[in-house]
Amino acid sequence: MTRTLVFGGARSGKSAYAERLAIASGKPVIYLATAQAGDAEMRSRIAHHQTRRPAEWLTVEQPLALADAIAQYSGPDNLILLDCLTLWLSNLLFSEQIEMPDIGAITPPALFTEQRNLLLQALASCRGDLVMVSNEVGMGIIPQGAISRWFVDEAGRLNQAVAAQCEQVVWVAAGLPLYLKSPASLS
């Protein structure tokens, strides 16, 4: 069983690289999709990802309860490709559809803390290979607005917590992978 985090910036090639890892495994793939088609742009992005997937992959759309999906679909004979953790984080943050302040403290919905904790527990007990895609959003300017800064901070914390549990961590830039952590580096 190998848990892999593939992360990078927008349009870095991280999803395509994660898909190549899944194909190279030779195992049946369960594609765990977190994106929601809330507008035309997102529908277009989702369609782009769908066209790249082999027809035999099972797609499971799960915008919130990733731990449940991992528990249900993980097994030694398959691979779960989870795309993407930062979309999931956004889904959780806005799950209650409450107005967030422009300044001041952000209080995330209770679902955020609950599902984040459950995800980290699910990673520890995953029974099969898992490749997760996430965005690196904290390398640019500090964003304006409390909700944007909270999101950057929480995405960074989530990436760190997930990476700590993974056997492999791959940074992708310009379509090129850089292995930050791999089984060979653990010995």
Could you read off the pLDDT of 128-170 as tens digits, one per residue?
Answer: 999 999 999 988 788 888 999 999 999 999 999 999 999 999 9
**Which residues are designated catalytic?**
49
pLDDT tens by residue, 84-124:
999 999 999 988 887 877 888 888 889 999 999 999 999 99
Q: Which of 1, 179, 155 is nearest to 74 (CA)?
A: 1
Q: Going by DSSP bridges, is the β-strand pair 168-173/29-33 parallel, antiparallel, or unpaired?
A: unpaired
Q: Which residues contact 162 (CB under 8 A, 6 or more apart)?
A: 5, 85, 120, 123, 132, 134
- Which CATH number describes the domain made up of 3-173? 3.40.50.300
Record the tokens describing residue 186, joined without a space: 């653990």
Residue 150 is which amino acid? Answer: W
Grade residue 184 by pLDDT with cuts at 50, 70 and 90. low
Residue 185's pLDDT band, with cuts at 50, 70 and 90, is: low
The string of DSSP letters for 13-63 reads SHHHHHHHHHHHHTS-EEEEE-----SHHHHHHHHHHHHHS-TTSEEEE-S
pLDDT in tens, 14-33: 999 999 999 999 999 999 99
Start-to-end Cα distance in the chain:
17
- pTM of the model as a whole: 0.92
